[in-house]
Amino acid sequence: MAQDELNTPHTPEEIARAAQEASVRAAMEQIQSMYGNIPGFEMPDMSDMQAQIMAQMQAAVPNLAEIQRQQAAMGTLGGVDADTVAQTARANMAQAGDFYRQMQDGSLEQELREMNDLALDSLGEDWTIRRSGDSRLTPEQLRVLALAAPLLVYNDECVDTLDCQIEIDTIKAQLENWWEIADRDSVVKTVNWLLNEGHHADADEALAVLLSDEEVDADPELDEKLDEVRQMVAYMIQNEYCDRTTIPHTAIAWDLVRVVNLGRWAYLCGYVTEEEMWHIMQVGAEVARQEFSSWQEFGLSYTLGRGVWHDDTDDCDTAYEIASLLLGRDDSPWRQIAW
């Protein structure tokens, strides 16, 4: 009997096993060709790796031999022959090689960044100003509620009503998870924190140093925040969100937007009365009137505050897109209600 005939699988089990071994062998060859010549990359023993893979296949599927017999008896080997299995393995390994090379040369990171930018751009085009059309609020109440408009737009809620398009149970869960709010006392505590500290206090301290150009004593925490604020302001100027004469003097608008919306949400959740809600919202409105002279100033402060919030220019972009929408659309409360 010829040697080739001796090496040719005859039984169903041998045929199925040969297909699997061909697939693994092809994969091993592809790994060798791709990574074998990379400096500093030590290749494992191929024969040992192949044996380990086959052993793992057997361990993962205890009845593998029976499956092989059934597949071979049907003449399908699971629907593909050994050559097809091997070809698929080579294609998969080629894709893995491309992925690896993209990681090495940085092109993968660049591609992911571009995809992310496109996604953010598409999100920015989808911001809308929603109205209920049947608002029962007074002009003064609408003026106060307009301060929460950026967050209402962000959450895709109506800007002219207290009614909420978000489920109350969802709001309760968010308030508890984000703020540890579950009753009136925790609402009041959080409102006071937002007004007196929030995410604006440290940013404002750094902003004051930045705008004054004065020398300050070394302070690691202040220096870190100063770097964040400096970079965010530079980003806003570079992207023409503001210029050097219109840099916001405070980031408090970011916290005031949340104060007004928190009062509304707390009322809807039953944590405060309607009277208490309007008091919370009015306090936020009074601080806003003291700090700013226009919706434009308020919008720029909100943009800076949201950007500094996570030290993330994406958040800054989001805030600016929403503020620009509110400043530019005729159906916006910021266009319909005088500051």
pLDDT tens digits for 199-228?
Answer: 999 999 999 999 887 666 657 778 888 999
Residue 164 has pLDDT above 60, yes or no: yes
Token pair for 85? 């299995």
Dihedral (CA of 263, 265, 267, 270) sign: negative
Angle at 78 between CA 76 and CA 84, to 5 degrees: 80
Query: d(Cα 157, Cα 163) in Å, to the nearest integer?
Result: 9
Q: What is the DSSP string of 103-131?
A: HHHSHHHHHHHHHHHHHHHHHHTT---B-
**pLDDT number for residue 75:** 43
pLDDT tens digits for 62-121?
Answer: 555 555 555 444 444 444 455 654 565 566 556 655 655 665 666 655 554 554 444 444
325 contacts 129 by C-beta, under 8 angstroms:
yes
pLDDT tens digits for 25-40?
Answer: 665 665 555 545 444 4
- Which run of H or E residues covers position 176? helix 168-179
pLDDT band with cut points at 50, 70 and 90 for residue 135: confident
User: Which of 296, 309, 304 has its CA nearest to residue 338?
Assistant: 296
**pLDDT number for residue 322:** 98
**pLDDT number for residue 39:** 45
The average pLDDT across 44-49 equals 56
Beta bridge partners of 158: 130
pLDDT tens digits for 275-325?
Answer: 999 999 999 999 999 999 999 999 999 999 999 998 999 999 999 999 999
**pLDDT number for residue 60:** 47
* Biggest distance spanned by C-alpha atoms of the chain: 101
